[in-house]
Structure 1
Amino acid sequence: MGLAPIDPIDPFAICARYEIEVIQMSSLPCDCSAFKSGEQSRFSAMTVPCGIRSAIVHNDTHHPLRQRSNICHELAHLFLGHEHVPPLNEDGERAHDSGIEAEANFLGGCLLVPNEAALHILSNGLAARAQLIYGVSRPMLDFRLRVSGAHVRYQRRQGLG
């Protein structure tokens, strides 16, 4: 897509590039009010097969930064080749594989703030503006700066570690 390793991404542009349809939950012809009111975290996003393609249905009532993170999480499932599984198991309970979800959480964060970008943020004093630059929440930024090793790498470059 012509991006440098430190450039922020647009998850919607990535979806368009890979012909992944992005569907806002509010556009669905059904009553989704249980997911939109009160506890908005009940549903964030999910990837669904659409013939030979995939679509991402996401909760557009979430904060825009959360929506970006949700979509990157779903992109991660696709990029990692995770199989589509029904959202509920035979007992009507939510199907959840913590290992697969952890993989998608990690890669989703890497898409938003790659390791190179995390080091760039610290090396150039951008921590105060990085949320705006990369379109991420403070918890996501802090997570990526920590798990990317950017703090350690920056300290070593400065001769402090």
Structure 2
Amino acid sequence: MREQMGLGPIDPIDPVAICSEFDIVLLKLSELGCDARAFLGRDQSAFSAVTVPRGATTAIVHNDSHHPLRQRSNICHELAHCFLGHKGTPPLTEEGARARDGGVEAEANFLGGCLLISNEAALNIVSQGLVSVAKQLYGVSQPMLDYRLRVSGAHTIHARRVGAGSRNRAGATS
């Protein structure tokens, strides 16, 4: 995806541009002209986004009342479903309960985070001392930044590289 978009491994992405490049229709929930209160809940935040087949194309409907950083994350989560080839399933069971496959959702959570901050970007953030500005650079929330730095192993990899470098320098001076 990054290559097709002309991006390097540490470049920030624009989820809206990705949707456009891959012919995925992006729809704001507020613009659908339907009563979505049942999905949104009392505080308007219960629904984040959903991927739906739309004829020969795919659409992502997202909750545009969420914070813009959350919207980016929601859209990337849905893009991950598309890129992973997950099949769309009805959102509710016949009994009216929410239908959810934990394994499929975990895959989309992981890849969605990787789209926002790749492993290479996470390591670059740590090694270049960009942690304090990374939220702005990559358009992510603090929890997403913390998650990607943790699951990418960026701090550990950087510490090992720095440690190996100092051991090599110490061995060269003895």
TM over 0.5: yes
For structure 1, which runs of at least 5 residues remain unmatched after alignment?
none
Amino acid of the structure 1 residue aligned with 2:67: H
The match for 2:72 is: 68
* 1:13-68 residue CA offsets vs partner (Å, 9 max, x unmatched): 00000000000000011122455574233100000000111000000000000000
Give the Cα separation in 1 of the matches to 2:118 and 2:106: 17
TM-score (norm 2): 0.89
The match for 2:61 is: 57
Which of residues 110, 122, 127 in structure 2 aligns to 1:123? 127
Which of residues 154, 160, 166 in structure 2 aligns to 1:156? 160
Cα RMSD for the two superposed structures: 1.5
| Matched ranges for 1:136-151 at <5 A | 136-151=140-155
- Taking every aligned residue pair, what percent have the same amino acid on both sides? 65
The match for 1:114 is: 118
Give the Cα separation in 1 of the matches to 2:128 and 2:88: 41
Give the Cα separation in 2 of the matches to 1:39 and 1:158: 46
Give the Cα separation in 2 of the matches to 1:94 and 1:34: 12
Is the CA contact (8 Å cut-off) linking 1:56 and 1:74 kept in structure 2? yes
Task: After superposing the two structures, state which structure 1 stretch, 76-85 or 36-45, moved more.
Answer: 36-45
Secondary structure of 1:136 counterpart:
coil
Amino acid of the structure 1 residue aligned with 2:12: P
Is the CA contact (8 Å cut-off) linking 1:40 and 1:61 kept in structure 2? yes
* 1:74-107 residue CA offsets vs partner (Å, 9 max, x unmatched): 0000100100111111111111000100000000
Give the Cα separation in 1 of the matches to 2:72 and 2:8: 19
Is the CA contact (8 Å cut-off) linking 1:36 and 1:61 kept in structure 2? no
For structure 2, which runs of at least 5 residues remain unmatched after alignment?
168-174
TM-score (norm 1): 0.96
Judged with a 3 Å threshold, the aligned counterparts in structure 2 of structure 1 residues 123 and 11 are, in CA distance, closer, same or farther, namely same
Give the Cα separation in 1 of the matches to 2:67 and 2:33: 22
Which of residues 88, 94, 108 in structure 2 aligns to 1:90? 94
